[in-house]
Structures are given as structure tokens and as C-alpha cells.
Amino acid sequence: MKIRSAYGLLLSAALVLPATGQISVTIGVAPPPIPYEPPPPPPPEPEMVWVSGFWVPQGHHYRWVSGHYDRPPYPGAYWSHPHYDRYADGWHYDEGHWDHEDHEHGHGHAYGHEHGHGRD
């Protein structure tokens, strides 16, 4: 009985807590400049969030991912935009992800918050 309760608790925690895995990749060359994208159209549904376009590494090249609307995975989620950081060994790509609201530090709101606009 105790084992069943422990499994139930672990399963509940896994379903409630968001996945925080994030990918960081090192690339030798800088990402291309961010191309112009026109302002986004109105959202197809009120809860949808605009995710601005970004360059994603693909092998030894970059591939442009156009801006698009996405649905936050849970209430209070905000979009943390992918970004690149320069280090001695090259450019590090940090993948975009959904994150929790953080009112104490002035980050996030339910309808999207971006930081890291391309080349931080």
C-alpha cells in the first residue's frame, strides 16, 4: 500500500511540474542577422502567444524558424526566447522554452514574455 502511495505521489509530481530540460549547443560561427518579420496577425485564439522567429542550429548551418502562435502549456507560462551567448569556444545556443511566471523579478506573464532577442 505504501509503495502504491509513493508511486501515485511521484506520478502526480511528474504531471504537475513542468519539464525544465533545455538544450545548449556550441557553434563556431555567429548566427546570421535576424531577418525582418512583419508584425504578427491577431491571434487565432485569445490564449495563444506569439513566438518570434529565430535561427536554430542544424548541423554546421542555421535554419530560420518563422514566427508563429503557440499555446502556453500551463496557466501562467511565458515564452523564454532562444538566444545565443558568445564564449571563447564559439557561440552557445540556448533553446527557447516555456517557463513559470516570476513576478518577483519582473519576468513573464500569461501571454508571453521574451528575453534574449537573438544575440544576447
Distance CA 47, CA 104 (A): 23
pLDDT at 25: 65
C-alpha torsion angle, residues 99, 100, 104, 109 (rounded to 10): 90
Is residue 32 within 8 Å of 63, Cβ to Cβ? no
C-alpha–C-alpha distance, residues 112 and 53, integer Å = 14
Question: What percentage of the chain carries pLDDT values higher than 70?
Answer: 62
Residue spans of the domains in the chain: they are 21-119
Contact call for residues 110 and 78 (beta carbons, < 8 A): yes
Predicted local distance difference test score (pLDDT) of residue 106: 53
Residue pLDDT, tens place only, 8-24: 433 343 333 344 444 55
